């Protein structure tokens, strides 16, 4: 059918020309034979012929830009082919009837116009091979036979020449039709290839913009949509919002149940979130355990907050995956273009910043972005620069807080603590810069600085044991254990004097890596203390499987001992449990003698707090140790 459509398109443009040539030839013949032939032949017949040709030619001219259906194309090709044969045959019969009435000159004109009509008709019908062949077949034999014997054979050359011309036209007709068919076939193949290429391109685009796990659009789709919105100009006040959702506890579930289970959980969460949104909202999986939704249109702020609440409620409920129930949660950040002048990409950044603010304040909540978060970000960036500069300029120092034996309150060890006294803008509390260092990756260098300096400082105090805090980020470094061993070797500090304090977050984030690092360092003689015990959900399984030698009861629990009688029972229970596992107990945050005595009665092994000494420089520590030694000798 493609060939028929193409033939018809070419034919439509040539039909008016065909009828115009036919009319001109009829008028010319009528003009020559007007004085010689009867009126019926010289006037009436050509008038009818020209009228039909004019009507048909005008009808086709008006339809050159029309679109025809396949059925209409087939019908018009059939009708026009038949009509062309009838009109050509009629013209030839009319011409042959006129021939006897003319003189020699008139007959020569008639012969020429008859031949011209046949040739022009065939060439105009060339796009329709069947119609052109029919015209040639109908017109040539009568012309050849008639003029072969006309005027005692004097017109024989014209008859033979017309037959040769007709044979040539038929040959050209077949060749043209074959070439035209090949061209149309090539176009059809090219069009099909273009269609296949477009389909492949569309499929590649779909794959590139779709998350294969959840089936949702991915981060690239979100960025493309945001860029398109940016290019279209401002959306107007309260007409654009971004909701950023990060799953809480996903890593724990993933590590506990395996990645295949985690993948199914992500898929289920994606389906749950999709059920909460409208068709106009774009929900994407940004990667890992992060999702985001883009809301455009009126009341974007209210819709975004409503979606945030629904998502938080949905993800707080237990989820069933492979027959097992798991609990996660969500930290959700929302950014709204309230004034109508924020760029869409900036909204995504703001929503991400709001989500991280929820994360940093305990997770499991919703935060709408406000400019204060940007101020906090700028402050963090400034502190990052100062930290890097401080490491280069050796602005940091290490101080030591005593750990005393609960039996006689004698110093048995110290905890190394980092300080920043050389900061150009003034000292900054560790709680303020340690978190920034963890986020920037500088904690690794800071932690190794503390360990190396403490090992060098305590080398001259062989009776004291050294306890050093290790951040979760630092401990998760794959070369952490090797770096500790290297520092012990460089400083010639005994591994048996070193105790590393870690929190349960180390064990949750990277359990396999934590187990390998602890096992390697324990073989060298290093011991480990579980810090902030009693504030999380550390189980006995952790204490046994990782082989901790010490637990440090968090100061918040110790502080309740003076006001809450139940705290005493809890601490006594911890001590009894630890003793049963051959684990020492350290109570930190001891600030009064009364509290120290209570912990002594509770049979804690070591005590730490301001009552026994504030963190001090190494020189002060050496002086205190020396003084304590002289006091013991005097006693």
- Which tens digit of pLDDT belongs to each residue from 254-284? 777 788 888 899 999 999 999 998 888 999 9
Strands 282-287 and 290-296: antiparallel
CATH number at residue 267: 3.30.70.270
- For the segment 489-513, the average pLDDT, to the nearest whole number, is 82
Among the three residues 167, 189, 211, which one is the final residue of a domain in this structure? Answer: 189
Q: Which of 356-365, 443-452, 478-487 has the lowest mean pLDDT?
A: 356-365
553 forms bridges with which residues in the sheet? 533, 587
Pairwise pLDDT comparison (349 vs 504), residue with the higher score: 349
Residue 379 inside a domain? The answer is: no
> Is pLDDT of 629 > 70?
no
DSSP H or E stretch at residue 334? strand 329-336
> Is pLDDT of 419 > 80?
yes
Residue 392 inside a domain? The answer is: no
Residue 431 inside a domain? The answer is: no
CA distances from 296 to 239, 302, 304, 333, 451 (A): 5, 12, 10, 17, 53
Residue 56 inside a domain? The answer is: yes
255 three-class SS: helix
The pLDDT of residue 413 is: 93
- In a shared domain, residues 532 and 409: yes
- In a shared domain, residues 461 and 328: no
Q: DSSP letters of 552-589?
A: EE-HHHHHGGGT-HHHHHHHHHHHHHHHHTT-EEEEE-
Cβ 585 vs Cβ 553: under 8 Å: yes
- In a shared domain, residues 499 and 579: yes
528 three-class SS: strand
CA-based Rg of the chain, rounded to a whole angstrom?
A: 49
Cβ 128 vs Cβ 7: under 8 Å: yes
pTM score, whole prediction: 0.56
Mean pLDDT of all residues belonging to the chain: 82
Pairwise pLDDT comparison (356 vs 201), residue with the higher score: 356
- For the segment 455-462, the average pLDDT, to the nearest whole number, is 92
Number of Cβ within a 10 Å radius of residue 354: 24
Report phi then psi at 607, rounded to 5: -125, 150
Strands (E) in 217-275, as ranges, are: 240-248
Q: In what order do the strands lie in the sheet with 290-296?
A: 282-287, 290-296, 240-248, 329-336, 365-368
State how far the Cα of 530 lies from the Cα of 546, in Å rounded to an integer.
10
Report phi then psi at 8, rounded to 5: -65, -40
Among the three residues 369, 389, 407, which one is the final residue of a domain in this structure? Answer: 369
- For the segment 286-313, the average pLDDT, to the nearest whole number, is 91
Tell the burial category of 317 from Cβ atoms under 10 Å away from its Cβ (0-12, 13-18, 19+).
exposed
501 three-class SS: strand
Number of Cβ within a 10 Å radius of residue 85: 19
- In a shared domain, residues 245 and 173: no
397 forms bridges with which residues in the sheet? 419
The pLDDT of residue 10 is: 65
- In a shared domain, residues 492 and 630: yes
Closest C-alpha to 290, from 251, 261, 257 = 251
> Is pLDDT of 492 > 90?
yes
192 three-class SS: helix
- In a shared domain, residues 108 and 151: yes
Q: How confident is the model at residue 628 (pLDDT cuts 50, 70, 90)?
A: low
State how far the Cα of 398 lies from the Cα of 453, in Å rounded to an integer.
7
Q: What percentage of the chain carries pLDDT values higher than 70?
A: 86
Cβ 399 vs Cβ 419: under 8 Å: yes
Pairwise pLDDT comparison (543 vs 23), residue with the higher score: 23
- In a shared domain, residues 324 and 449: no
- In a shared domain, residues 44 and 157: yes
- In a shared domain, residues 127 and 263: no
Report phi then psi at 465, rounded to 5: -95, 145
The pLDDT of residue 635 is: 47
Give the tokens for residue 231: 């290019």
Residue 309 inside a domain? The answer is: yes
Per this entry, what is the length of the chain?
A: 635
Residue 205 inside a domain? The answer is: no
Strands (E) in 356-396, as ranges, are: 365-368
State how far the Cα of 353 lies from the Cα of 332, in Å rounded to an integer.
10
- In a shared domain, residues 175 and 284: no
Residue 461 inside a domain? The answer is: yes
Strands 397-405 and 550-553: unpaired
Among the three residues 170, 189, 208, which one is the final residue of a domain in this structure? Answer: 189
> Is pLDDT of 485 > 90?
yes
Q: How confident is the model at residue 404 (pLDDT cuts 50, 70, 90)?
A: very high
Given its phi and psi angles, is residue 278 left (phi above 0), alpha (psi -120 to 50 degrees) or beta? beta
- In a shared domain, residues 46 and 115: yes
- For the segment 137-158, the average pLDDT, to the nearest whole number, is 71
Cβ 264 vs Cβ 349: under 8 Å: no
Domain count of the fold of the chain: 3
State how far the Cα of 482 lies from the Cα of 490, in Å rounded to an integer.
12
> Is pLDDT of 536 > 70?
no
For residue 286, the enclosing domain spans: 219-369
Q: How confident is the model at residue 578 (pLDDT cuts 50, 70, 90)?
A: confident
Give the Cα-Cα-Cα angle 489, 491, 492 (nearest 5 degrees). Answer: 60
Residue 62 inside a domain? The answer is: yes
Q: Which of 155-164, 387-396, 406-415 has the lowest mean pLDDT?
A: 155-164
Closest C-alpha to 269, from 226, 224, 214 = 214
- In a shared domain, residues 171 and 95: yes
Q: What percentage of the chain carries pLDDT values higher than 90?
A: 26
CATH number at residue 560: 3.20.20.450
């Amino acid at each position: 059918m493609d060939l028929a459509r193409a033939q018809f398109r070419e034919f439509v443009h040539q039909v008016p020309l065909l009828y115009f040539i036919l009319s001109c030839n009829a008028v010319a013949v009528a003009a020559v034979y007007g004085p010689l032939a009867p009126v019926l032949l010289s006037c009436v017949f050509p008038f009818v012929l020209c009228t039909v040709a004019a009507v048909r030619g005008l009808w086709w001219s008006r339809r050159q830009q029309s679109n025809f259906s396949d059925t209409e194309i087939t019908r018009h090709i059939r009708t026009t082919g038949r009509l062309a044969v009838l009109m050509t045959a009629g013209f030839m019969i009319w011409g042959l009837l006129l021939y006897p009435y003319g003189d020699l000159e008139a007959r020569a004109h008639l012969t020429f116009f008859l031949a011209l009509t046949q040739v022009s008709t065939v060439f105009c019908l060339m796009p329709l091979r069947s119609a052109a062949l029919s015209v040639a077949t109908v017109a040539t034999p009568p012309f050849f036979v008639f003029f072969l014997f006309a005027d005692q054979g004097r017109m024989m050359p014209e008859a033979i020449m017309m037959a040769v011309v007709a044979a040539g036209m038929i040959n050209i007709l077949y060749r043209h039709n074959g070439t035209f068919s090949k061209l149309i076939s090539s176009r059809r193949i090219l069009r099909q290839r273009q269609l296949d290429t477009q389909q492949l391109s569309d499929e590649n685009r779909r794959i590139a913009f779709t998350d294969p796990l959840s089936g949702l659009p991915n981060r690239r789709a979100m960025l493309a949509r945001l860029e398109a919105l940016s290019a279209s100009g401002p959306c107007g006040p309260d007409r654009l919002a971004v909701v950023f959702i990060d799953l809480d506890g996903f890593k724990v579930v993933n590590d506990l149940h395996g990645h295949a289970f985690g993948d199914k959980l992500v898929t289920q969460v994606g389906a749950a979130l999709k059920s909460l949104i409208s068709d106009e909202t774009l929900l994407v999986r940004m990667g890992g355990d992060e999702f985001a939704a883009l809301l455009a249109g009126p009341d974007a702020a209210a819709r975004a907050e409503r979606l945030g609440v629904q998502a938080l409620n949905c993800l707080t409920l237990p989820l069933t995956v492979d027959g097992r129930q798991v609990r996660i949660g969500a930290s959700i950040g929302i950014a709204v273009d309230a004034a109508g002048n924020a760029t869409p990409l900036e909204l995504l950044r703001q929503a991400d910043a709001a989500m991280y603010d929820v994360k940093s304040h305990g997770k499991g909540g919703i935060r709408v972005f406000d400019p204060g978060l940007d101020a906090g970000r700028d402050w963090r960036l400034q502190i990052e620069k100062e930290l890097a500069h401080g490491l280069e300029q050796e602005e940091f120092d290490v101080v030591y807080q005593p750990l005393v034996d609960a039996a006689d309150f004698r110093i048995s060890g110290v905890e190394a603590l980092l300080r920043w006294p050389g900061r150009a803008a003034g000292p900054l509390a560790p709680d303020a810069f340690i978190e920034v260092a963890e986020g920037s990756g500088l904690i690794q260098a800071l932690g190794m600085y503390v360990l190396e300096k403490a090992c060098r400082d305590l080398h001259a105090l062989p009776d004291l044991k050294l306890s050093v805090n290790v951040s979760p980020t630092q401990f998760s470094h794959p070369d952490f254990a090797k770096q500790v061993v290297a520092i012990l070797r460089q400083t010639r500090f005994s591994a048996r004097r070193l105790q590393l304090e870690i929190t349960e977050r180390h064990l949750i984030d990277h359990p396999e890596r934590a187990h390998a690092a602890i096992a390697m360092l324990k073989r060298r003689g290093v011991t480990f203390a579980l810090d902030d015990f009693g504030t999380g959900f550390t189980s006995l399984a952790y204490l046994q499987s990782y082989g901790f030698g010490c637990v440090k009861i968090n100061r918040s629990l110790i502080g309740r001992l003076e006001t809450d009688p139940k705290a005493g029972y809890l601490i006594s229970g911890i001590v009894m449990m630890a003793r049963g596992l051959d684990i020492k107990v350290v109570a930190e945050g001891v600030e009064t003698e009364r509290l120290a005595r209570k912990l002594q009665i509770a049979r804690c092994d070591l005590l730490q707090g301001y009552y026994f000494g504030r963190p001090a420089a190494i020189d002060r520590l050496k002086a205190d140790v020396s003084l304590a030694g002289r006091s013991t000798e005097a006693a």
